[in-house]
Amino acid sequence: MMNNVDDPSRPPDPHTHAVHAEGLTAVRGPRTVLHGLDFTVPRGRITGLLGPSGCGKSTLMRAIVGTQAHVSGALEVLGHPAGHPALRTRIGYVTQHPSVYDDLTVRQNLDYFAAILDPGHAAAERRHDNVTRAIADVDLTSHADALAGNLSGGQRSRVSLAVALLGTPELLVLDEPTVGLDPVLRRDLWHLFHDIAATRGTTLLVSSHVMDEAERCHRLLLMRDGRILAEDTPQALRSRTGTETVEAAFLHLVDEAVAAGRAKETAR
Amino acid sequence: MTTTHAPVAAHAPARALSASRTTATAARVLRQLRHDPRTIALLMLVPCVMLVLLRYVFDSSPRTFDNIGASLLGIFPLITMFLVTSIATLRERTSGTLERLLAMPLGKGDLIAGYALAFGVLAIIQSALATGLALWVLGLKVTGSAWLLLLVALLDALLGTALGLFVSAFAASEFQAVQFMPAVIFPQLLLCGLFTPRSRMHPVLEAISDVLPMSYAVDGMNEVMRHTDVTATFVRDVLIVAGCALLVLGLGAATLRRRTA
Closest C-alpha to B111, from A99, A113, A6? A113
- pLDDT higher than threshold 70 for residue A10: no
Please, is B197 exposed, middle or buried when counting C-beta atoms within 10 Å of its C-beta (0-12, 13-18, 19+)? Answer: exposed
Q: Quick one: pLDDT at residue A69?
A: 92
- How far is residue A104 from each of residues B46, B201, B215, measured CA to CA in Å? 25, 49, 38
**pLDDT of B14 strictly over 60:** no
Q: Which three-class secondary structure state does DSSP give residue A48? A: strand
**Distance from the first to the final alpha carbon of chain A:** 35
Task: Inform me whether the pLDDT recorded for A3 exceeds 70.
Answer: no
Q: Which of B11, B108, B110 to mutate to test the interface with A (most CBs of A within 10 A)?
A: B11
Is pLDDT larger for residue B178 or for residue A265? B178
Question: What's the gap between Cα A142 and its chain centre?
Answer: 27
What is the nearest CA distance from A186 to chain B, expressed in angstroms?
12
Residue A1: predicted pLDDT: 43
The answer, for A65 touching chain B at a CB cutoff of 8 Å, is: yes
User: Which pLDDT score is estimated for A131?
Assistant: 96
Count how many Cα atoms sit within 13 Å of the Cα of residue A21 in the half-sphere of its side chain: 24
Q: How many residues does chain B have?
A: 261
The confidence band for B261, taking pLDDT boundaries of 50, 70 and 90, is confident
Residue A230 and residue A220: Cα distance in Å, rounded?
Answer: 8
Distance from the A178 Cα atom to the nearest Cα atom in chain B, whole angstroms? 15
Task: Please compute, for residue A14, the number of CA atoms within 13 A of its CA located in the half-sphere on the CB side.
Answer: 11
Residue B66's pLDDT is 86
Q: Tell whether the model's pLDDT for residue B16 goes beyond 70.
A: no
Distance between CA atoms of A214 and A237, rounded to whole angstroms? 11
The reply to whether residue B101 touches residue A116, judged by beta carbons under 8 angstroms, is yes
Write the CA distances from B23 to A121, B31, B89, B113, B170, integer angstroms: 11, 12, 17, 9, 27
How far apart (Å, rounded) are the C-alpha atoms in residues A55 and A34?
A: 9
Name the H helices within B6-61: 19-34, 37-57
Contact B14 A88 (CB under 8 A): yes
What are the start-end ranges of the H helices in chain A? 57-65, 106-117, 124-137, 153-165, 183-200, 234-241, 246-267
Question: At B242, phi and psi to the nearest 5?
Answer: -65, -40
Q: Which B residues 21-60 touch A at CB under 8 Å?
A: 21, 24-25, 27-28, 31-32, 35-36
Beta strand A71-77 with A80-81 is antiparallel
User: What is the pLDDT at residue B64?
Assistant: 87
Instruction: Tell whether B200 is within 8 A of chain A (Cβ).
Output: no
Digit-coded pLDDT (tens) for A83-141: 999 999 899 999 988 999 999 999 999 999 999 999 988 999 999 999 999 999 898 99
Average pLDDT on B6-15 reads 41
Q: Considering only CB atoms, which chain B residues are within 8 Å of A133? A: 2-6
Of A2-6, A170-174, A203-207, B83-87, the range with the lowest mean pLDDT is A2-6
Cβ of B103 within 8 Å of Cβ of A199? The answer is: no
**A21 backbone dihedrals φ, ψ, rounded to 5°:** -125, 140
* Interchain contact, B24 vs A139, CB within 8 Å: no
> Mean of the pLDDT values across residues B4-31?
69
pLDDT, tens digit (0-9, with 9 covering 90-100), for A163-202: 999 988 999 999 998 887 888 888 888 999 999 999 999 9
- Start-end of H helices in chain B: 19-34, 37-57, 62-94, 97-102, 108-132, 146-168, 174-180, 186-191, 203-210, 213-226, 232-254
Q: Which of residues 128-147 of A touch B (CB under 8 A)?
A: 129-130, 132-133, 136-139, 147
Report how far residue B170's alpha carbon sits from residue B7's, in angstroms, rounded to the nearest whole number: 43
| Cα torsion angle, B249, B257, B168, B123, sign | positive
In the predicted model, what is the mean pLDDT of chain A? 89
By CB atoms closer than 10 A (0-12, 13-18, 19+), residue B206 is: middle
**Residues of chain B numbered 89-128 and touching chain A (CB < 8 Å):** 95-97, 99-106
For B:241-260, CB contacts with A below 8 A are 257-260
Alpha carbon B134 to chain centroid, angstroms: 20
Task: For strands A227-232 and A91-94, give the pairing.
Answer: unpaired
Nearest to A116 among B31, B35, B105 (CB): B105
Q: Which residues contact A77 (CB under 8 A, 6 or more apart)?
A: A18, A19, A64, A66, A84, A87, A91, A171
When pLDDT is cut at 50, 70 and 90, the band that residue A5 belongs to is very low
Sign of the Cα torsion B208, B211, B212, B217 reads: positive
- Got the DSSP string for A72-104? EEEEEETTEETT-GGGTTTEEEE-SS--S-TTS
- CB of A93 within 8 A of CB of A170? no
**Over pLDDT 70: what percentage of chain A?**
94
Half-sphere exposure of B112 toward its Cβ, with a 13 Å CA cutoff? 26
User: Is residue A22 within 8 angstroms of chain B, CB to CB?
Assistant: no
What value does the mean pLDDT of chain B take? 87
Chain A positions touching B101 (Cβ under 8 A) are: 116
pLDDT above 50: residue B226: yes
Distance CA B127, CA B156 (A): 10
